[in-house]
Copies of this chain bind each other. A is one copy, B any other.
Amino acid sequence: MNKDNNKIIAVDAMGGDNAPRAVCLGAAEACRKFDDLSIILTGNAELINLELESVSSEIKKRISVVHAEEVISMDEHPAMAIRKKHKSSLRLAMEMVRSGEAQGCVSAGNTGAIVAGGLLIVGRIKGIDRPALGAYLPTIERPSFMIDVGATVRCKPENLYQFALMGNIYSRKILKVKEPEIKLLSNGTEDIKGDECVLAARELIIKNNNLNFQGYTEGNDIVWGRSDIIVCDGFMGNVALKFGEGIMQGLKSLLSTEVKKSVTAQAGMLLMSGVVKRLWTRFNYEKYGGTPLLGVQGVVIKAHGRSKEPAIVNAIAVARDFIAERGVELISNEL
């Protein structure tokens, strides 16, 4: 049995482009960083143990391995894979959350399968119709929490309202924002903008009058951080987040090509390396760490598919915070 404050997190060792290495080493690093943490790695035991060879025995005491025969790949049909692959590393990790063996789980695998597993294995919170993935976006004025970035592709007004409610709790309790400002992503800030769904969601939020709601926000506001929470459907959130990532990757690649062409520019780049690094760190849309799947009856954190070791540590840290703050209970109680 775990000590009172000990947190047990199941981690899908096979999920993501850099699995199992980055996941195993990230899990070990997280244990080093947080001494109240135990981790269960699910996946191919042989491969996992190989990756853990370099880890000290002191840390290894807090890592256990549960063998999983199957892996859900990135391009499998999410719901089908979760239903059929009973012995997949992701499903095993989620079953541990359902049974209480683990208090939360983390995966960098197939997003759709994580969402489907959240619904089918972990289960919905009563009162929430559809779950949402929230991501912490880098911005200029203050970080914004965008919800949903890909769990529920298209939404009804009630879904968007529930996303606003869940985002509000997450922002207050986990991100420690007082009275978070909430805005709906729309095609303009004026009241006449929006499609039918966004308009109806706006009216629903205003009618319920229990949130610090500030109306619409538009595309160019995102980067300035004009609100603490940006509510949108999962289709829009997915495209926006990936577009942000793409622009930063594109600029980085072009910058390096251009600089290589000129010795003067290379000298300039040396002098500016601090500034460029700071900008890059600040606007790296991949660095948002773990995105919580909100609306399910357990702590489920999705890490970016391209996660390297630090991003896995970050996602585990998010799961740890969420457990410590009893985030799932808070959402259930507030509904």
**Chain A interface (Cβ < 8 Å from any Cβ of B):** 75, 77-78, 112, 139-140, 150, 153-154, 185-188, 190, 192, 194-197, 218-224, 234-236, 238-251, 253-255, 258-259, 262, 264-265, 267-275, 278-279, 282-283
Contacts and interface: CB of A to CB of B under 8 A. Distances in A.
A264 B253 contact: no
Contacts of A248: 247
A187 B238 contact: yes
A49 to B, nearest CB: 32
A267 B247 CA distance: 26
Contacts of A267: 268, 271
The majority secondary structure among interface residues of chain A is: helix
Given A223-B247, A243-B222, A254-B282, A271 B275 contact: no
A185 B272 CA distance: 36
Contacts of A236: 235-236, 239
A218 B192 contact: no
A183 B250 CA distance: 20
Given A224-B250, A262-B274, A268-B270, 16 more contacts: A139-B250, A140-B253, A153-B195, A187-B235, A187-B239, A219-B241, A219-B246, A222-B243, A223-B249, A240-B243, A243-B244, A244-B247, A247-B247, A247-B248, A251-B283, A268-B272
A187 B154 CA distance: 11
A279 B268 CA distance: 15
Contact of A220 (B235, B246, B275, B279): B246
A205 B255 CA distance: 37
A45 B246 CA distance: 46
